[in-house]
């Protein structure tokens, strides 16, 4: 297992790890369709997320040219609107930008601020450049640098996205720690030689019994305390 003292740079996934993506999207759908009950909102949220996942997979498989998350989110919003019978263009347009207004988890802002006193801290997100900029401002996330996968025209877990973080860090991958609430994300980072830390969130993709990540934490405070105590 890696040693904490070997870590030079910490890289964070954003969507799901530092902000509540499902919760934020659910709130946006509810705002757009205030008469909808919980079950209807859940159906629409599933429709949205399935579209995003499918389109990112199609891009990864070469079945579609790269487009950023703002375009895919716009498509998802239109699918939700069509399904729900929503026709107001202003409401649909606001729904399409829901990814800019996701709430941070309770420990995210303070945890990043504390960690940044000791380490260079990077964000590494599938969110497009503009969406990531607006999301960081909305959620109060403070980085030394925030990297969008749009820079390499790919989506995680494509290897070139993690290589972007490694190149930016400017040190060997085994000295770069990738932090995420998604096992699939950590597997991608691990394949590029990065160290890995799983942080448990109410949403995400928990590790399986076959995953061998360097560290597992119950929350961001636990991770930060461990890194700061090295």
Residue-wise pLDDT tens digits, 70-106: 999 999 999 999 999 999 999 999 999 999 999 999 9
Please give the angle made by the CA atoms of 85, 91 and 97, to the nearest 5 degrees: 115
Architecture in CATH for domain 21-100 = Orthogonal Bundle (1.10)
pLDDT at residue 5 is higher than 90: no
Going by pLDDT thresholds of 50, 70 and 90, the confidence category of residue 223 is very high
Name, in order, each residue with C-beta under 8 angstroms of 90's C-beta and a sequence gap of 6 or more: none
Percent above pLDDT 70 for the chain: 99
Q: What local confidence, expressed as pLDDT, does residue 174 receive? A: 97
Identify the pLDDT of residue 4.
85
Residue 60: CB atoms within 10 Å: 15
CA–CA–CA angle 192, 194, 195 (5° rounding): 145
Span 116-149, pLDDT tens digits: 999 999 999 999 999 999 999 999 999 999 999 9
pLDDT per residue as tens digits for the range 38-78: 999 999 999 999 999 999 999 999 999 999 999 999 999 99
The domain made up of 4-20+102-228 is a member of CATH 1.10.10.60: no
Task: Break the chain into its structural domains and give their ranges.
Answer: 4-20+102-228, 21-100
Q: Do domains 4-20+102-228 and 21-100 have the same CATH topology?
A: no
Q: How far apart are the first and last CA of the chain?
A: 15
């Amino acid at each position: 297992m890696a040693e904490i003292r070997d870590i030079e740079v910490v890289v964070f996934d954003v969507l799901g790890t530092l902000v509540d993506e499902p919760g934020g999207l659910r709130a946006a759908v509810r705002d757009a369709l205030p008469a909808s009950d919980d079950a209807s909102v859940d159906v629409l949220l599933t429709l949205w997320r399935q579209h995003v996942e499918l389109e990112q997979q199609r891009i990864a498989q070469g079945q579609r040219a790269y487009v950023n998350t703002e375009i895919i989110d716009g498509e998802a919003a239109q699918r939700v609107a069509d399904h729900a019978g929503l026709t107001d263009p202003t409401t649909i347009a606001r729904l399409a930008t829901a990814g800019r207004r996701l709430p941070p988890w309770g420990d995210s802002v303070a945890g990043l601020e504390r960690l940044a006193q000791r380490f260079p801290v990077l964000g590494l997100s599938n969110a497009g450049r503009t969406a990531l900029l607006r999301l960081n401002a909305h959620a109060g996330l403070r980085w030394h640098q925030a990297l969008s996968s749009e820079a390499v025209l790919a989506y995680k877990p494509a290897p070139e996205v993690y290589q972007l973080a490694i190149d930016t860090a400017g040190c060997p991958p085994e000295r770069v720690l990738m932090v995420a609430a998604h096992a699939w994300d950590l597997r991608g980072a691990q394949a590029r030689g990065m160290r890995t830390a799983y942080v448990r969130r109410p949403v995400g993709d928990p590790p399986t019994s076959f995953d061998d990540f360097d560290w597992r934490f119950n929350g961001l405070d636990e991770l930060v305390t461990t890194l700061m105590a090295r």
